[in-house]
Amino acid sequence: MKSATPSLPGLVQSFFQEHLDQARGASPHTIRAYRDTLRLFFGYLARQRHCGVDRLALPDVTSQRVLDFLMDLETRRGNRPVTRNCRLAALRSWVKHLLRYDPSHADQYARILALPAKRAPRAQPDYLEPEQFRLVLDQVDLNTPLGLRDGALLLFLYNTGARVSEALQVRWSELDTTRPWQVRLHCKGAKERICPLWKQTVDLLRRLQLQASAPPERQVFLNSRGQPLTRDGVAYLLSHYYRLARKEHTCLPRPSIHPHVLRHSCAVALLQAGIDLTTIRDYLGHSSVATTGRYLQTNLAMKHEVLDRFWKRAGLESGQPKRWRPTQGLLAYLESL
């Protein structure tokens, strides 16, 4: 029996349902990122072909059109090379799926997979020093119901270094507020990790649990309507408290403040405490220690400390030479000559 000819809509659907969701166990954030890339790409193809998206077919997906789409991202949308490369990575993943199910266009897909990423300098991550984070946390009124939730959320993100998607998935049943204080986090790629908690974090979470009187399977961080908080909601809260802190403390920097800044801040604080990279990798749930290593390039204070240690280890520091002063006996001797 002859197999059905694959179609573009069918391969898009199987890519998200069978490949990303079932085979890879991709996170909702990853699925949204791939969805947005394909939405932009199909919209661009439709404009170029002067037709509706539903009229597009697999032969329209060519390497030249992918290149033109990437150029359009930079020129018309003003995307930076890093964003361009992320879009290309998403398209490559989808094209690999096409190659598995549509070998008749193998040459066409191979040319797309051969497209190189654009070289670009990697931006250093923004982060807050521990004392700067404390200034932000001090803006939260812990005596109000929403303030208690906000304080517990911000401290939880900083304590665990959790991605915001991981924090928003946490349920009360996954929190252990008795010794040893810890939380089970659901990471990218259907992985899990156990993260320890500070006593201060646990105290706020206990107060929040008593206030909410929520069942064990309910999510911890909810909005004012009793629904789970969203990524945008967390971003708004952090930005709000950071603006309040900057009004009182103008010394605070003006980074691009977003929830991932707290994850960066946790990583840098661990490095400053002398924790080795492999432990930090496991603490943050990184897949590679190379990802963790980029924080070494971030902190200027650590660079100065390393330089001082290197200077002392090299043995080049001789200290200040002592000024020669003649003794009284020597002067008497010279006078006698």
**Which one of the listed residues 19, 84, 149, 286 is annotated catalytic?**
286
pLDDT at 214: 79
pLDDT given for residue 2 in this prediction: 44
Q: Which of 19, 149, 163, 264 is catalytic?
A: 163
295 included as an active-site residue: yes
Residue 322: both structure tokens together: 């002592």
CATH of domain 8-113: 1.10.150
Class of the CATH domain delimited by 130-297: mainly alpha
Average pLDDT of the segment spanning 152-181: 94
Q: What gap in Å lies between CA 233 and CA 242, rounded to an integer?
A: 14
Contacts 24+ apart (CB under 8 A), 79-88: 80/120, 81/118, 81/119, 81/120, 82/120, 82/122, 82/123, 84/118, 85/117, 85/118, 85/120, 86/33, 86/37, 87/37, 87/40, 87/41, 88/115, 88/117
Catalytic residue among 84, 97, 149, 263: 263
Where do the structural domains in the chain lie, given as residue ranges? 8-113, 130-297
- Measured from the Cβ of residue 157, the count of other Cβ atoms closer than 10 Å reads 26
**1 falls in which pLDDT band (50, 70, 90)?**
very low
Among the listed residues 184, 188, 231, 249, the single catalytic one is 188
Amino acid of residue 189: G
User: Residue 323: which residues within 8 A CB-CB, separation 6 or more?
Assistant: none
Amino acid at 317: E
CA 289 vs. chain centroid, Å, equals 14
Q: Which residue has the higher pLDDT, 26 or 118?
A: 118
Q: Nearest Cα to 130, choosing from 237, 264, 284, 250?
A: 264
pLDDT tens column, 103-128: 999 999 999 999 999 987 776 778 89
| Residues paired with 286 in a beta bridge | none
Among 65, 224, 198, 37, smallest CA distance to 146 is for 224
Please confirm, yes or no, whether 286 is among the known catalytic residues. yes
Instruction: Check whether 242 has a pLDDT greater than 50.
Output: yes
> What's the token pair of residue 1?
């029996």
Q: Which of 138-152, 158-172, 317-331 has the lowest mean pLDDT?
A: 317-331
SS3 letters across 59-110: HHCCHHHHHHHHHHHHHCCCCCHHHHHHHHHHHHHHHHHHHHHCHHHHHHHH
Q: Which comes out higher in pLDDT, residue 24 or 98?
A: 98
Q: What is the mean pLDDT of the chain?
A: 87
Catalytic-residue membership of 188: yes
CB proximity list for 72: less than 8 A, separation 6 or greater: 44
Mean pLDDT (whole number) for 261-281:
89
The two tokens of residue 306 are 């390393």
DSSP-assigned beta bridge partners for residue 153: none
Q: Are 195 and 279 in contact (CB under 8 A)?
A: no
Catalytic residue, chosen from 44, 109, 241, 295, is: 295
> Of these residues, 96, 206, 207, 260, which one is catalytic?
260
- 304 included as an active-site residue: no
